[in-house]
Structure 1
Amino acid sequence: MASSADVHVRICGQEIIKYDLEIKALIQDIRDCPGPQSTLLELNSQVKEKFSQLRLRIQDLEQMAREQDRETDRLAIQAETESQRRQMLSNRTAWRKAIVACKLAIDNMEKDELLRGGENQSSRQRRATKETLAETSSSITESLMSISRMMAEQVNQSEDTISTLATSSRTVQETNEEFRNMTGTIHLGRKLILKYNRRELTDKLLIFLALALFLATVLYILKKRLFPFI
């Protein structure tokens, strides 16, 4: 019947083997990891945890070797401990290489994606630039058409204004002509009135002289007849 120490040694050895296999499987997962970086970080975290557990079990196995009574058992367990320690170091080396390979693959993949994304972005930018230029050209065309319509309206308004001014000018000229005609008529009427007034004064003077002459003649006749000897 196996002793309790032998059972503990076997259990410890089985756990060491289990952790070793789990570490190897995780290392293979790291080699095959397509990314992203967060997945790689998660796998590395799991590997670190398994290495920590493996190291503790190897230390337990080493402690069990020192506690053995028989020299042969102690040497056998120490040999197994050294073997597992070397295997752990080998796994660490494989783990580092797997990390380097995985990071390189992820970096290359990200570069390719960036290049493809840059090309796609460049295409989108060119397309957006063309669309922007088309919209700008359409906007400028609409603005020019609007300005053209405004200028045409201004020209029409100017023509209407010029026509109105021409009509007003003709009206003013006609009014001036009428004023000049009226002024001439008024001047002529004033002359006629003055001439009529002079004639009326002359007629009155002539009538007065004729009347005076008539009265003088009558007085002379009466004097000769009434006072013939005077």
Structure 2
Amino acid sequence: MKQEDELIKLSLAANAAIQDVQMATEKEDENLKEHVSKLIARAKECILAFKSKIVEIENDAVLVDKETDKAALDSLVKKWKQELRQANIMFKRVHLNALAVIEQREKTALIGSGSTALSTRKRIVDKQSAAKGSSSITDSLVHTSRMMAEHLQRSSDTIETLSNSSKGITLTNEELKNMQGHIKNSRSLLTKYGRKEMTDRLFLFLAVAFFLATVLYIIKKRLWSSDIAMESFNAPQENVQDPVIV
């Protein structure tokens, strides 16, 4: 994911800037205060850029409509907020340690005319304190690097899972398209059979009507022929006269 890659780069830059501050306090430098101040300002800028990117992704998550993408962004923001919190804790620790070292060296410089043994002892104490702080910060950086490696592995697994899900969705979409084609063909066949049924019913109705008309015609013709025959039979009887008796 591009957004997570950017967050990883910003996180590494912030951790590197914090480590630069810690390493600067371990060196003998006449301008230590000025040098450390610049490194602290740079570390603050890196942490601020890291925080701004997290806020940007968090704002983008609000505008996302798809639930899966929104959940992924929310999870990403939650995970990197924890990283930002750890970076802030390390920065505060390094900052306080640097201030303590600078203050101690300034005091040592002010009492440089005092006992050499005392100065040496303070220098040793300063170095021991710086070494302890450096060891603690190194452990924190190692822990952070280990967590980032785990996050990268989880991100890789998530990307692979999303890829498999995408393939499954593509196959499902193709199956739905095929089913839609079958449904369309079935609908066409049903429409065709419906029209054929209507045509068959019409032909059947016309055949029945023709049959009834034929039957009526035959019946009517026979009745008409019978009437004519009866009239022909009755006509001679009416015209015959009784014989005259002389």
TM-score by length of 1: 0.47
Q: Which has the larger radius of gyration?
A: 1
TM-score computed with the length of structure 2 as normaliser = 0.44
